[in-house]
Structure 1
């Protein structure tokens, strides 16, 4: 399991795509591959009003990543210390087996390099004590990044606050 977790507070996301743009800029990616994506859900009518949600989809850095086991050259790897799944570009031959293996669509084809790209939580930035580029540019602060325990606590507190506000509004 990854030592890190990237959490999205879906209620705060406005679908501005700043995270996608910053990721592409940070990784110097051409048109095409998106290492994180904002998926629009809706609009749906709730209580007669249109509502929309935006879901942030990065790589999940799975405990047993299918992309790693599918890679025939060993280019797709998982760092033993923190569980970050990444691509060794020197070993990647562009066969796209990892793209087919991932149920989440995290590995993306880069037509300019003829190789695969994927979210690696900006491991170069993490190694310097920084946060991933997508988190630093999030305009609403809906993206949070840290160790699994801290992010789990944030999720618990957020859920408890929403349950408490629902209970208080019913009186």
Structure 2
């Protein structure tokens, strides 16, 4: 499993797609492939009001990624140092086996190169001490990136604050 985690606070996301656009710009991708995607849920009516939410879907960098084991050329790889799953472009022959193997749809077809592209947490940026492009452009700050243990702590704090505010509002 990756040492890193990309956390989305869905309560803050407004579905602006800035993360998708910045990802595509950073990777110089044409129309079509989206290594990270915003999925719209709704609208649903809650208390007679229409509500929508947005779910951020990057690659999950699985502990035992099916895309890596399915790749016949070894182009789909997992870094041993941190668990990031990435495509070694010069080895990719465009067979799309990894696309079929991934239950999350993380590997995407790039029609301009005839090869696969996917979220790799912008590992070129990480190696320079920078955050992934999607995180740096998030207009509401709903995307957070870091070590798994740090992101787990952020999630716990967020949950505790939500519970505390519910308890305080019932007085």
The verdict on a shared fold, with TM-score over 0.5 as the criterion, is yes
Query: Residue in 1 aligned with 2:162?
Result: 162
SS of the equivalent of 1:30 reads: coil
Q: How far did 1:86 drift? A: 0.2
Alignment-derived partner of residue 89 in structure 1? 89
Structure 2 residue aligned with 1:128: 128
The separation in 2 between residues aligned to 1:65 and 1:166, in whole angstroms, is 39
Q: Distance in 2 between matches of 1:68 and 1:164?
A: 43
For 1:53, what is the secondary structure of its paired residue? strand
TM-score normalised by L of structure 2: 0.99
User: What is the RMSD of the two structures over their aligned residues, measured on CA atoms?
Assistant: 0.4
Report the Cα offset of residue 43 of structure 1: 0.5
2:38: which partner in 1? 38
Structure 1 residue runs of 5 or longer lacking an equivalent are none
- Residues 94-140 of structure 1 deviation map (CA, whole Å, 9 limit, x = unaligned): 00000000000000001110000000000000000000000000000
Matched residue, 2:3: 3
Alignment match, 1:118: 118
Relative to the length of structure 1, the TM-score reads 0.99
> Are residue 143 (structure 1) and residue 143 (structure 2) matched?
yes
Inter-partner Cα distance in structure 1 for 2:52 and 2:4: 28
Structure 1 residue 167: deviation in Å? 1.1
Structure 2: give runs of 5+ residues left out of the alignment.
Answer: none
Task: Detail structure 1 runs of 4+ shifted over 6 Å in the superposition.
Answer: none
